[in-house]
Structure 1
């Protein structure tokens, strides 16, 4: 078990990135906001490059003119003084124009991150150490449901994220779709994302939030409106009751052990709110905020020794016999 755990630490990040569109880069833009930010980045880099080149040219020319050692005049000639004064004024004016331009463009680019439309979808995302709680709403209370570390959105539609931090400051960032926004305890922030291309986009907490900050990833899955409607209708359903004996035994163990006190499985007596909602955990691509692909084996490894896999997280070790561990992992993997 420990050998498999050590191997997962090495392999999983590469697998996670390989399964996504792009390498979590702000320059691989597939969202309206991300495209605006990419253009702003390119413009700033281009202007700064030109400024740097001009400064280097001026420096080289000055060094070339004074390559021979000769004493400088105590009092510069009037013509030289006027020329130097004009040069300094021009440099100060150019610097003011460039910085003012950057400030104005950054203001409008940042302001655009929070401007939505009438057809927007609202999703609440809460950051915790070290995972993401995702809540979808509906016209009726029974249409509301929660998931974790995986966000599905429709392509071509504005999505308003209501961001909340419950313990420390986190930062929600999907580089290919939008800029980052902080989740501050006691303060509600919002971010608009609009994906223009279907795909799987990796997100990451971008604010140091503790020892497992680097292992606080999530996925944003942009899909066609029809596929999104199918997914959201499936997620609103309660967990399917097990029909096989092993799965039924896994459900009994899950409900009898402390698991049910921390996790919710809709359709059962499990209604805990401390940990992620597991109603459809088997349908998610990854568990533990991006550390493992969701398989029966990875679920068993996580349940057996969560502190070795992700030290410091809030999930305790639950004593289980080998038979109970196999049954519970099979049950959770069946929750599609």
Structure 2
């Protein structure tokens, strides 16, 4: 996994198999109507502030040039001519500043109204909970399939509004996917919502935008905007229980290790005896592009390293190291690799 974009902004590159997914995080390239409104407000603010900044610099330069000239003669009222001109300029500049500030206030109010008027008929509802340091996503039952939970990835249909209910289980977090919308704080004990619509298919990177502890910077997510049919297919697969373990000694041994070790105390896998709720639901773990909330590409090698010593990759994580022998770790990873 690499982070960074040659053209500005941030991106997450997650390699799985032979494919590489490029997920931009860039407010200057909106993929939804909400982000487009915010970008428009940004352009207006940038232009106004740029013009004011240039005018102030020009005034300072003019003042310095006049200061270095010869002495002015006093007028009959005791004021120099340039002092009267300066007073008039200050009054005019003050009036223009008030008009520009009022214009920015109006633009901000109009943008806020536009953001709040997104049609939400037939909206997709998702509940996202901020944890330290990962994202839990709960999809309620929809379109004939039961609800399910996933982690660190959201899938949404293109062109359909999405209402995300936001919760924080521990400290303050902030939900931010700049290609789709602005930031929304998540406060413990206070539920809030954010609404957006993805109008362009693609993969977009999100990030916690409120400092929430040691690994705040390593709390990313991916949002997949898919064609409606592709989304429905994905949701149907996610709602299904995990596939039965293959009739292979190593894979069966991995399932046994998972259910009998501390893994099952924290994680759930539908279709097994694991019912933990502290960590992410792993029912379809290998369908995700990353692990550890965007820190590592989801490959068997990275998965083994993460299980062996998660603190080496993400210091401060609440996931403990799982002391397993090399054969047992290999068996566990072999079974986890079947969770697609």
Q: TM-score if structure 2 supplies the norm length?
A: 0.89
* Alignment partner, residue 13 of structure 1: 3
2:198 is the alignment partner of 1:195: yes
SS at match of 1:163: strand
* Alignment partner, residue 107 of structure 2: 105
Matches within 5 A, 1:163-312: 163-243=166-246, 244-312=248-316
* Alignment partner, residue 56 of structure 2: 55
CA distance in 2, matches of 1:22, 1:143: 29
The change in CA–CA distance for 1:20 and 1:203 in structure 2 (over 3 A counts) is farther
Q: Counting strand residues as a fraction of each chain, which structure ranks higher?
A: 2
Cα shift readout 1:39-80 (whole Å, capped 9, x = no counterpart): 111111111111122222222223223322537859644976
SS at match of 1:17: strand
The change in CA–CA distance for 1:300 and 1:132 in structure 2 (over 3 A counts) is same
- Return the offset for 1:94: 1.6
CA distance in 1, matches of 2:323, 2:23: 40
| Contact 1:299–1:333, Cα closer than 8 Å, also in 2 | no
SS at match of 2:282: coil
The change in CA–CA distance for 1:23 and 1:76 in structure 2 (over 3 A counts) is farther
Which stretch shifts more, 16-25 or 221-230? Answer: 16-25
CA distance in 2, matches of 1:35, 1:27: 9
**How many residues align structurally?**
326
| Contact 2:74–2:81, Cα closer than 8 Å, also in 1 | no
Gaps of 5+ in 2: 6-10, 14-19
Which stretch shifts more, 298-307 or 54-63? Answer: 54-63
2:159 is the alignment partner of 1:156: yes
Cα shift readout 1:9-29 (whole Å, capped 9, x = no counterpart): xx5436962455564111021
* Alignment partner, residue 17 of structure 2: none
CA distance in 1, matches of 2:26, 2:128: 22
The change in CA–CA distance for 1:72 and 1:334 in structure 2 (over 3 A counts) is farther
Q: RMSD of aligned C-alpha atoms?
A: 2.3
| Contact 1:263–1:278, Cα closer than 8 Å, also in 2 | yes
Gaps of 5+ in 1: 1-10
Which stretch shifts more, 99-108 or 265-274? Answer: 99-108
Matches within 5 A, 1:60-139: 60-68=61-69, 70=71, 76-77=78-79, 83-116=85-118, 117-139=120-142
CA distance in 2, matches of 1:158, 1:141: 19
Which stretch shifts more, 148-157 or 102-111? Answer: 102-111
Which stretch shifts more, 64-73 or 287-296? Answer: 64-73
2:331 is the alignment partner of 1:330: no
SS at match of 2:214: coil
- Return the offset for 1:152: 0.3
| Contact 1:113–1:179, Cα closer than 8 Å, also in 2 | no
CA distance in 1, matches of 2:268, 2:312: 24
* Alignment partner, residue 146 of structure 1: 149
- Return the offset for 1:249: 1.1
